[in-house]
Amino acid sequence: MVIQPIGAAGTVPLLLALLLFVFWAASCIFALHDPIPFRHPGRLALGLLLLGTSISYVGLYSGWTGPSSVAARAAADRWVMLLLASTALICVAAETVRTIADAMVLVRAILAGGVFCCLVAAVQFFLQLNPMEWFQNTMPGFSYNGGDTTFQQRGALLRVAGTTFTPIELAVVSSMLLPLSIWRALFDDKGRKWLHWAGTCLLIFAIAATISRSGILGISLAMVIFVPFMPRLARKWAALAVPMVAAVLFMGVPGLLSTLFGALVPEPGDLSISTRTNNYPRVAEMFEQRPLIGTGPGNYLPDNALHILDNQYLNATVTMGLLGLLCTVAYFVMPGLAALLAARTAKAPVLRCLAAAVAAAGLVAMACSATFDSLSFPVFALTYPLIIGLGGAIWIMTNNENVLTNKGVI
């Protein structure tokens, strides 16, 4: 749902994030807030992506990359608006989350959105109707912009997307949020524990309901990174819970096991794979034409569904060239590795476990961005900056903790 005169960028979350950017920038300009001391690797990664985008953007508008169309320039403008919104989320999260209590408030809010999305996915999966259509009638002034694929058939089951654009986006975002949900369930003293764990179970169900290879990759990578940093007792319970949850899913959803196995071991000629690999020669040809700064940020506009790249790194290579690819890799790699380093050096168990959860979320985003063009999907594109910002806050808290330890304060 968008404000029609603004177009695809006129969604509620993006507009609110842009408004947040205006307030953050104004507070810096008028010396009401000093962002300089809040240094963290995620901010450096964001700066590199902004640099690569700016060079490619100037190249598009100046004609260095060849003639451009109105649609191409509009796509570049939308990309810049997304980066400004991401800047606000990254900087504000990192600069306002000062304590574990602050982090818990932010994580609760993120997970509330995730749980709502999973509840919608459950209704879609079991009743095969889309509750989001009901909300469209309650948004006067907004228009339906299309582009979402709520239901997709795979094998014997119907894949669902919840409140995201596609099942693959739901699978990846749920995999990113799962470690944070477990951390919240372990350490949050507010509310009822069974509700916290119910939210965790909903995320697991959503991943299964998407029947997505990306979801399996995401949840596997998340657990490999996160579980070693959990408290010892929690690790023992995790060893028991994993097979039990799998058994409940497969027994409770008839056909899930066979459909999921078919997705993981695709038959020759599987369209979801062939459409990706068939695009490689096209990407190589476009890269050879404009190897340094590409065709312009956000300026890959496929003329049919078969030409969608389904790979954020290939998309960056085409639109922003080699420079943009390196900046995109830094944007996805640096925050996750920094959070993992913070997890290894943190002293307090709650901080160490939180850092590992954020590291898992960031590295899942990094890996799964090779399986779909992640930054073209609005829920992922605005969730990931919050993960980076939270990781920045953890980096700062860990450094402060180490300084106090070295001084003998703690």
- Distance (Å, whole) CA 120 – CA 167: 12
pTM of the model: 0.92
pLDDT at res. 395? 97
Domain assignment present for 2? no
Domain assignment present for 258? yes
Question: Number of folded domains in the chain?
Answer: 1
Nearest one of 124, 209, 212, 109 to 163, comparing CA atoms: 124
pLDDT 10s digits, 239-275: 777 777 766 766 666 566 656 665 556 655 556 666 6
**Owner of token pair 């106090």:** 404
Q: Give residues with Cβ within 8 angstroms of 389, minimum separation 6.
A: 42, 89, 90, 91, 92, 93, 94, 97
pLDDT 10s digits, 173-217: 999 999 999 999 999 999 899 999 999 999 999 998 888 888 889
CA distances from 41 to 44, 124, 390, 396, 401 (A): 5, 39, 12, 10, 17
Residue 323: pLDDT over 90:
yes
Domain assignment present for 336? yes
Domain assignment present for 385? yes
pLDDT at res. 254? 58
Cα 341 to its chain centre, rounded Å, is 20
pLDDT at res. 263? 57
DSSP-derived pairing of the beta strands 151-154 and 157-160: antiparallel
Encoded tokens for 132: 């989001």
Domain assignment present for 1? no
- Residues 96-116 have a mean pLDDT of 96
pLDDT 10s digits, 365-376: 999 999 999 999
**DSSP letter string, 47-94:** HHHHHHHHHHHHHHHHTTT----HHHHHHHHHHHHHHHHHHHHHHHHH
Bridge partners of residue 157, in order along the sequence? 154
Structural domain including 40 reads 7-406
pLDDT at res. 354? 97
